């Protein structure tokens, strides 16, 4: 299936922040409830060990979807683990709630952070969960180039793949929104209003989900982006689809130096 870079509603600057937060709250809740990013944990551990790091800078965090469960699994494996959550349009309420749940692990960057130009003071393994597809190929390559320029390891994870099956699955996502909304915390009357009375949230989730499938890079496409990076030859790059959880997780991992498994 050919890649199409259509627009996602939550990316638009004009889209109301409270509706964007309702959407990222849904994604966060489903990711946590189902521990969808469980297969990412050993990849993160490998990336941290290879880079000699205990710090992670999460880019485009949104509402922090999946991170609570990932951190619970990863922290015992990586003593001193610290995760800084960042976003260009952060869901401040959700990220603050996540940070309060594990203050020994999580902190939130107060200022907006552009994944293509990460401030130098944010050091550590860079991660992106369910967000790399938001960027056009040239922008995605700038994200990788910025990591290489700062000699930072980087790990990218998605949940969807560019396939007919995932296209159908995400087209049916409004049903999941309708079923799960009463259980999303913190409870918001506005969330119920914009989900059931005026169904903006389920329709936007469906549109963005379908577009995400069409936008998603395949593992070999992500790996190909590393071919022409300035200084990228000093990196080890790995891509694939991690199995072992409730859903397959496409990923790209890169870190400086020789592969210790080689």
Q: Which residue has the tokens 């130009």?
A: 117
Q: Does domain 9-256 have CATH number 3.40.50.150?
A: yes
Query: Reduced to 3 states, what is the DSSP secondary structure of residue 226?
Result: coil
- pLDDT of amino acid 181: 97
- Would you state the pLDDT for residue 232? 87
The torsion angle over the Cα atoms of residues 107, 143, 41 and 91, rounded to 10 degrees, is 40
**pLDDT in the model for residue 262:** 41
pLDDT number for residue 245? 86
pLDDT of amino acid 257: 85
Mean pLDDT split into 10-residue runs, the chain, 262 residues: 93 94 94 94 97 97 92 97 95 92 96 96 97 96 98 97 96 97 94 98 98 97 96 93 93 82 43
pLDDT of residue 258: 62
The string of pLDDT tens digits covering residues 107-123 is: 999 899 999 999 999 99
Tokens of 216: 């998603």
- Domain chopping of the chain, boundaries: 9-256
Pairing of strands 154-157, 249-256: antiparallel
């Amino acid at each position: 299936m050919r890649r199409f870079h259509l627009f996602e509603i939550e990316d638009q600057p004009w889209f109301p922040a409270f509706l964007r937060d309702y959407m990222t709250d849904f994604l966060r809740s489903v990711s946590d409830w189902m521990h969808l990013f469980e297969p990412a944990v050993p990849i993160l551990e490998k990336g941290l060990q290879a880079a000699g790091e205990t710090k992670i800078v999460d880019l485009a965090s949104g509402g922090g979807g999946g991170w609570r469960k990932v951190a619970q699994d990863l922290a015992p494996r990586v003593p001193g683990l610290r995760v800084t959550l960042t976003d260009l349009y952060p869901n401040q309420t959700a990220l603050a709630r996540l940070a309060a749940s594990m203050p020994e692990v999580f902190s939130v960057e107060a200022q907006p952070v552009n994944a293509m130009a990460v401030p130098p003071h944010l050091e550590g393994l860079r991660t992106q969960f369910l967000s790399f597809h938001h960027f056009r190929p040239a922008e995605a390559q700038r994200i990788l180039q910025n990591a290489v320029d700062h000699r930072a390891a980087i790990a990218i994870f998605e949940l969807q793949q560019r396939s007919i099956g995932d296209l159908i699955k995400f087209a049916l996502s409004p049903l999941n929104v309708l079923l799960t909304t009463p259980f999303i915390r913190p409870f918001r009357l506005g969330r119920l209003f914009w989900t059931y009375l005026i169904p903006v949230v389920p329709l936007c989730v469906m549109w963005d989900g379908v577009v995400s499938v069409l936008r998603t890079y395949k593992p070999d496409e992500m790996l190909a982006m590393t071919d022409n990076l300035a200084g990228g030859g000093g990196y080890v790059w790995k891509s694939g689809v991690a199995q072992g959880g409730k859903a397959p997780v496409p990923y790209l991992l890169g870190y400086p130096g020789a592969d210790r498994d080689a």
